[in-house]
Homo-oligomer: A and B are copies of this chain.
Amino acid sequence: MTEFSKECMLEAIRFSKQNVDDGSGGPFGAVIAKDGKIISGASNKVTSTNDPTAHAEMEAIRSACKILNTFSLAGCEIYTSCEPCPMCLSAIHWARIEKIYYANTRKDAADINFDDDFIYNEVSKSVDDRVIPMVQIMNREAKKVFIDWKEKEDKIHY
């Protein structure tokens, strides 16, 4: 572990601790770094902002994208005080982050009653086997829009 990695993770843990101290969300923090510099950091803000998607990693990603003025975090690393849940892991993929450092595991999260492991299992199931019912309707109408997109010449890829 480099000194810089240690510094980044300490900052992520500091964000997680801040939430325990001031009560603004779950005990999670994350930091995005690029080229040996911290770009952004955040704590979980689910309960303080009424946003179930406001996990620390999501907030740090959104913030880094604003600061760097891009939807791609290629070349960046994320430091998170806990193994990312599948929402955050997927967001890390969409953001093209290249390396993940984590401290607590999903098992540690389960021990304090966070359901990451349950959602990992659900995401891995086939559509018909999931707890939340998934019903397909109107595929024909929706697919027309996909064809329009395919044929659109000036689209921005992401």
Contact = CB atoms under 8 A, between A and B. Distances in A.
- How many of chain A's residues touch chain B, expressed as a range? 35 or more
Contacts of A150: 111-112
Copies in the complex: 2
Given A53-B95, A89-B122, 6 more contacts: A93-B132, A101-B134, A103-B139, A104-B143, A105-B139, A124-B124
27 contacts: A9-B137, A13-B145, A23-B154, A23-B155, A23-B156, A46-B71, A47-B156, A50-B71, A52-B71, A52-B94, A53-B58, A53-B62, A53-B94, A82-B142, A83-B136, A90-B123, A92-B132, A98-B132, A101-B137, A102-B136, A103-B141, A104-B146, A108-B139, A108-B143, A109-B146, A111-B150, A123-B124
